[in-house]
Amino acid sequence: GPLPTFNPTSSQDLDSLLARFRKQMFTEPHLLERQRLLTQKKKNHHFLEEDPIYFPIGNQTVQLTPKLVHHNFPRKMFTKAVHLMKVPSDFDAIPELVLGYTQSGSKLLDKNICMAVRRAGITGRADVLIKILEQAEHNKIHIPMSIAREGFRGFIVTAKLPSKHAVIKAVRGARQLRNLLGKQDTLGLDPEPVKIAKDPVGLGTLAGITSEASRKFNGGLDHGGYTAWYVKKMFLPESWDSVKDEQ
C-alpha cells in the first residue's frame, strides 16, 4: 500500500510527532531487505552519510537515513496525536495514521479509532471515517457498529450548522458513509460481517437530516422522497434483526 503522508498542521508538536511516526515506524515496512540492512546496521550507516540514497515508494521519493532499530509506537501515541489536533484540517492525519499502524503490523483497536472519529466529528470532520473506509483495501479495516454510529453522529453535528452548504454536505456525507459501509460487508475483511448499512441508527440519522434539510430549504416537502424511503427501510424487520449493541 501507499506510504502515509502528512500535511502541515496547526501545531508544531503535532508536526514533529507525525514526522517521527513516518520516519521511525511507517517507512520501514516499505523497504527491501538490502535497504533495511543499510538503515539498521550501524556499520553500514557511513554509506548513507557519505552518499545519500533515495528510493521511490509509489509516487513519493524517500531518503534512506541511519536508524538503529525499527520502532513501533504504542497505541497511546496515536491517542496523543489525536489530542494534539485542534482545527478541522489537522484531522486529515487520522486516516494516514490508521494506514501506517496497519502496515507496521500494529493495528489499532476499535476504541482507538472510535475516539478519533468522535473527536473529528465534533469539529465538523465526520468525513474522516469515509476516508478510512476508502482506504479499506490497504488498511484492512472492517468498521464495527460502534465506529459506524460515531460516524453518523458526526454528520448530525454538521447538519446542525446554519448554512445550506453544511446541511447538504451532511446529507451527502451520510449517504456516502452508508454506501461504503454496505460495500465493506462484501470485502471479506471480517468472518461475520455485520450488515451495518441496515442499522436503524444509521437509517434514522439519514431520515433525520434529510427531513431537516427539506424543512429548512425545500418548503417542508420531502425532496426526492428520501426521508420516506429511509424511514421505511428503518422499520423493516430485517433492519432490526441485524442490530448489535455497541461495545
pTM for the model stands at 0.83
pLDDT at 106: 85
**Predicted confidence (pLDDT) per residue in 187-205, tens digit:** 444 544 447 778 888 899 9
Q: Cell for 13? A: 508538536
In a domain, 6, yes or no: no
pLDDT at 201: 87
Contacts with 65 (C-beta within 8 Å, 6 or more apart), sequence order:
23, 39, 48
Domain count, the chain: 1
In a domain, 101, yes or no: yes
Q: Which residues of 59-92 are buried (b: 16+ CB within 10 A; e: fewer)?
A: eeebebeebeeeeebeeebbeebbebbeeeebbb
In a domain, 185, yes or no: yes
The domain containing residue 87 runs over which residues?
Answer: 75-239
* Average pLDDT over all residues of the chain: 86
Range ranked top by mean pLDDT from 28-37, 76-85, 145-154: 76-85
In a domain, 221, yes or no: yes
CA of residue 114 relative to chain centroid, distance: 10
Contacts with 44 (C-beta within 8 Å, 6 or more apart), sequence order:
37, 38
- Judged by DSSP in three states, 146 sits in helix
Higher pLDDT, 156 or 199: 156
In a domain, 68, yes or no: no
Whether the per-residue pLDDT at 61 is higher than 50: the answer is yes
In a domain, 227, yes or no: yes
In a domain, 53, yes or no: no
Backbone angles phi, psi at 106, to 5 degrees: -120, 60
